[in-house]
Amino acid sequence: MIVTENVNLIKSIPSQYFLEVERIVFEAIANGNKIDELKSELLKRYAITNRRAKLIAKDQIKKATEMLERRQLIDAGVTKGFWLHSGNYKPGRARKSHVEAAQRAKRGEWYDLRKGMLIDGRFTHPKELVNCNCTRKIYAELRQLSRFAVDKNIRMAA
């Protein structure tokens, strides 16, 4: 699942290496090494530029972290998400549809964490697209929250 969601984002690395990249990404997360170490690892192994390696490392760590967290939430029975736009972007660079998704969320529209939010005609998760810094709030009950490590975006049911 991780691979299929990420495949299109790593165009500069031949597809036969995707599984290997996935393994390196999760090792980096598990070891707490994260971006810099992943970048060096990618540079060592593949014929890509420094800039490209950094972009891929940042992007993959963000995506994989979001996916792991989402899976923990779903495992705990949490399925309602509210799209949040990062808010920090250069003027004119924000994805209009992602800003709109956050406005839809403010009006009470939620999406199913198992599917993603319908944006531009396709079900999307925060950070799935390159350079997307969007995130989400969740709506959960107390008993569900006790089942996983609480993150800072949690909103408790009354």
Q: Name the residues that contact Zn ion, by CB under 5 A.
A: 98, 132, 134
CB of 135 to Zn ion, least distance (A): 9
In the complex with Zn ion, which residue's Cβ is closer, 73 or 134? 134
In the complex with Zn ion, which residue's Cβ is closer, 116 or 145? 116
In the complex with Zn ion, which residue's Cβ is closer, 43 or 129? 129
Identify the three-state secondary structure at position 51: helix
Identify the three-state secondary structure at position 83: strand
Residues 25, 58: Cα–Cα separation, whole Å: 10
Residues 74, 108: Cα–Cα separation, whole Å: 20
In the complex with Zn ion, which residue's Cβ is closer, 24 or 84? 84
Q: Which of 9, 33, 32, 31 is nearest to 21 (CA)?
A: 9
CB of 133 to Zn ion, least distance (A): 6
Token digits of residue 63? 């995506």
CB of 59 to Zn ion, least distance (A): 12
CB of 31 to Zn ion, least distance (A): 28
Residues 5, 129: Cα–Cα separation, whole Å: 10
Token digits of residue 150? 């609480």
